[in-house]
Amino acid sequence: MTFLSYLISGVSLGSIYAIIALGYTMVYGIAKMLNFAHGDVIMVGAYISFCTTSYLGLSPFISVLFSIIVCTALGIVVERLAYKPLRKAPSLAVLITAIGVSYFLQNAALLIWGSSPKTFSSVVGNWSLKLFDGELTISGVTIVTVLACIVIMIALTLFTTKTKTGTAMRAVSEDKGAAQLMGISVNSTISITFAIGSGLAAIAGVLLCSAYPTLMPTTGSMPGIKAFTAAVFGGIGSIPGAMLGGILLGIIEIFAKAYISTQLSDAVVFAMLILVLIVKPDGLLGKHINEKV
Give the residue extent of every domain in the chain.
Answer: 1-279
Contact, 246 vs 262, CB < 8 A? no
Contact, 282 vs 235, CB < 8 A? yes
Contact, 233 vs 284, CB < 8 A? yes
Contact, 252 vs 269, CB < 8 A? yes
Q: What is the pLDDT of residues 123-144, one digit of tens each?
A: 888 888 887 777 788 888 899 9
Quick one: what percent of the chain has pLDDT higher than 90? Answer: 34
- Mean pLDDT is lowest, of 51-60, 67-76, 216-225, 270-279, for 270-279
Q: Does the pLDDT of residue 288 top 70, yes or no?
A: no
Contact, 174 vs 12, CB < 8 A? no
Contact, 123 vs 213, CB < 8 A? no
Q: What is the pLDDT of residues 180-237, one digit of tens each?
A: 888 888 888 989 999 999 999 999 999 999 998 889 999 988 888 888 888 888 887 7
Q: Does the pLDDT of residue 279 top 90, yes or no?
A: no
Fold of 1-279: ABC transporter involved in vitamin B12 uptake, BtuC (1.10.3470)
HSE at residue 262, side-chain half, CA atoms within 13 A, is: 0
DSSP H/E element including 154? helix 140-162
What is the torsional sign of CA 140, 57, 43, 266? negative
How far is it, in rounded angstroms, from Cα 79 to Cα 40? 14
Give how far the C-alpha of residue 239 lies from the chain's centroid of Cα atoms, to the nearest Å. 12
The mean pLDDT value for 138-159 works out to 90
Q: Does the pLDDT of residue 239 top 50, yes or no?
A: yes
Instruction: Report the chain's mean pLDDT, rounded to a whole number.
Output: 87
Q: Does the pLDDT of residue 291 top 70, yes or no?
A: no
Which residue from 199, 168, 229, 260 is spatially nearest to 42, judged by alpha carbons?
A: 199
Which band of pLDDT confidence, cut at 50, 70 and 90, is reported for residue 266? confident
Q: Does the pLDDT of residue 67 top 90, yes or no?
A: yes
Which band of pLDDT confidence, cut at 50, 70 and 90, is reported for residue 44? very high
The mean pLDDT value for 253-265 works out to 88
Which band of pLDDT confidence, cut at 50, 70 and 90, is reported for residue 290? low
For the chain, the straight-line distance linking the first and the last C-alpha, in angstroms and rounded, comes to 55
Q: What is the pLDDT of residues 9-38, one digit of tens each?
A: 999 999 999 999 988 888 888 877 888 888
Read off the DSSP letter of residue 1: -
Q: What is the pLDDT of residues 79-122, one digit of tens each?
A: 999 888 888 888 888 889 989 999 999 999 999 998 899 998 88
Which residue from 8, 22, 43 is spatially nearest to 149, judged by alpha carbons?
A: 22
Q: Does the pLDDT of residue 292 top 80, yes or no?
A: no
Burial class (CB in 10 A: 0-12, 13-18, 19+), 259: exposed
Which band of pLDDT confidence, cut at 50, 70 and 90, is reported for residue 293? very low
Highest mean pLDDT among 31-45, 58-72, 162-176: 58-72
pLDDT for 48: 94
What is the torsional sign of CA 198, 202, 203, 208? positive
